[in-house]
Structures are given as C-alpha cells and as structure tokens.
Amino acid sequence: MKALVTGGAGFIGSHVVDAYLAQGMKVVIVDDLSTGHMANVNPAATFYQVDLRSPELERVFEAERPEVVSHHAAQMSVRRSVADPLFDADVNILGSLRLLECARRHGVQRVVYISSGGAVYGEPEYLPCDEAHPVRPICQYGVSKHTVEHYLYLYHDLYGLSYQVLRYPNVYGPRQDPEGEAGVVAIFTGQMLQDEGVVINGAGNQERDFVYVEDCARANLLVLEGSLPPGIYNLGSGRGTSVNQIFEALRDITGYARDPQHGPSKLGETSRIYLDARAAQRDFAWEPSVALEEGLRRTVDYFRNQQPDPART
C-alpha cells in the first residue's frame, strides 16, 4: 500500500510516516516546510516540497498514485487564525479542497483527515466530549478544521471516497517545535532546559487532554485495517490536565528551580476540554498506551539529548 502524508516533515506527520514505513508501506511526503523540517523526514520516504494550494500538487498525484492520504498539513495556530482568518481558511479549507480534488481524480481509496478535538467543540456543554457533542468552535481555526469534515462527507456521498476523521487532543512528544506557537509541553521543556523564564497564559487552570505522539500515529495505522466505514473519531485520554499541572510535572523532571510568570489569556482559547475516545476503542481498538508522566519524561529526554542540526530548515 502506498500512502501520501501531507505535513510529513512536521511534528505529528513525521511520526505517522515512521509508523507507516515500519509496517512495510510505501510513503510519499508532501510538505512546504513552512513549519516542518527536513531533519524530521524519514529518508525511506519520497519527499516533495509542495504547498497544498499549488498546481504542483496535481503532478505529485499523477506521479505517485497513492491509495491512502493522511492529511496532517494545516495552519495550526489559533492565534494566527484569529488575527488572519483569510490565511487560515486559504490553507485549511481551500488547500484541503484541492487535495480532495486530486484524491478524487487519481483513484485514492481513503483519506485520513486530522481534525481538532480541542478546537471544534468550543466550550464544552459536558465532559468528556464525545463525537455527538455540539460543534460550536470559538476560533477560526476550529471553524476551518470542521468545515473540511463536511467536504469529506460530501466527497464520500458523491464520489465514494472513503474517509476517517481523527479529532486529535493536545499531542506532545519528540520533534515538537518549541519555537513560535507550539504545544505547551515543548515550549515549557525548551525554556526549562535553558533555565529561561516560563510564562503561563492566564491563570494556568485551563485543562487539556494530553496524548503522546506515538499513540496518535498508531491510530493512523489502525484505521487502515479492515473495512472501517467512514466516520469521525475522537482520540484522547478522557481526562483533563491543567497547564499548571504540566508545569509542575516538567519542573520535577527537569529540576527547574524558578516559579512561573503569568501573562494574559489567549483569545479564542477554550478553558476546559478533554475527549471521550470510546468509539475509537470500540471500532478499531485504539486507546492511549503511554501514561502522561512517562510521555513527559521521554519528551524531556529527547530535547535534552537533541543536538543542533545545521541542515534543519
């Protein structure tokens, strides 16, 4: 089986590439390297530096003829989506629509689409959120990610393109970029290891569902097994962990001696969100296997042992 992974030079996408290759699949990566890095690219994969919005995408499909597409590439910053909603929609909606058109025209059998369990539901009416929870996003990023879910349903109904939507929780682990807007685990870890000040947005009581990256990559494999019908699935642990708790856990692991500072809350940020993933456990036997403390230790070890790479772009 040949899979095309968009965003395969990025944090999560590169782990999915590794998981696919470990199972003997052929893998093609499409990434424009706007946030991804060549240092993350598995040399066993075929790599194309292409923007999803570019006409060059069609040529990749013509040349490679993938059977499966795992779509991770996205504008993923909540803050940027609020500040520049046109750019957010251009990348996340129009880029995804171009991808679906290529998939339709070139015989792709299945699309695995990565959505956001932390952004599409908005402020939860109940916790943990299951897939039946109302979708009421409070940021443009959540709107754009959910919009593509509707296109997937349409493309299945009109053209028979099979799909699974994976609504990710807060994913953390090795290769997450601590520079710029990234996951709080990577940011805090990088700052603590450099003995820099750590700033928590707001009071730090906001809760998220933290799942280790290799567990999410494994879900991208499991949904390809058998004849799973089209559907939407949460990935998550079913419990919330506050940003303050993450800070304290990382402080213990790294030996960081400072107290945190507190800055303003981020516009468009949900206060509490964690996900019910029982449907994924029922339909394709997925559940997290790496406990939070163990995952945080692995992440700290990765950043502690990481050497600067002059080829990293």
CB proximity list for 246: less than 8 A, separation 6 or greater: 184, 185, 188, 210, 296
- pLDDT tens digits, residue range 107-156? 999 999 999 999 999 999 999 999 999 999 999 999 999 999 999 999 99
CB 255: neighbour CB atoms within 10 A? 9
Cα–Cα–Cα angle for 169, 266, 216, nearest 5°? 15
Position 270 scores a pLDDT of: 82
Position 267 scores a pLDDT of: 75
Q: Which residues are marked as active site?
A: 141
Q: What spatial distance separates the first Cα and last Cα of the chain, rounded to whole Å? A: 30
Query: In terms of CATH, what superfamily is 2-169+213-237+276-289?
Result: NAD(P)-binding Rossmann-like Domain (3.40.50.720)
Position 182 scores a pLDDT of: 59
Phi and psi torsions of 233, nearest 5°: -135, 130
Position 179 scores a pLDDT of: 63
Give 21's strand partners: none
How far is the C-alpha of 262 from the C-alpha of 257, rounded, in Å?
A: 16
Position 300 scores a pLDDT of: 98
Supply the mean pLDDT for the chain: 94
How far is the C-alpha of 285 from the C-alpha of 41, rounded, in Å?
A: 28
Question: Number of C-alpha atoms within 13 angstroms, CB side, residue 142?
Answer: 18
How far is the C-alpha of 140 from the C-alpha of 90, rounded, in Å?
A: 12
Phi and psi torsions of 89, nearest 5°: -70, -35
Could you check whether the bond before residue 288 is cis, i.e. omega within 30 degrees of 0? no
On whether the CB atoms of residues 290 and 215 are closer than 8 A, the answer is yes
On whether the CB atoms of residues 131 and 232 are closer than 8 A, the answer is yes
On whether the CB atoms of residues 183 and 172 are closer than 8 A, the answer is yes
Position 266 scores a pLDDT of: 79
Cα 46 to the center of its chain, rounded Å: 21
Give the pTM.
Answer: 0.94
Enumerate the domain spans of the chain: 2-169+213-237+276-289
How far is the C-alpha of 37 from the C-alpha of 179, rounded, in Å?
A: 13
Which residues in the chain land under pLDDT 70?
179-182, 268, 307-313
How far is the C-alpha of 313 from the C-alpha of 133, rounded, in Å?
A: 40
Over its C-alpha atoms, the chain yields an Rg (Å, rounded) of 19
CB proximity list for 180: less than 8 A, separation 6 or greater: 35
Rounded alpha-carbon distances, angstroms, from residue 237 to 17, 20, 21, 214, 263: 23, 23, 26, 14, 28
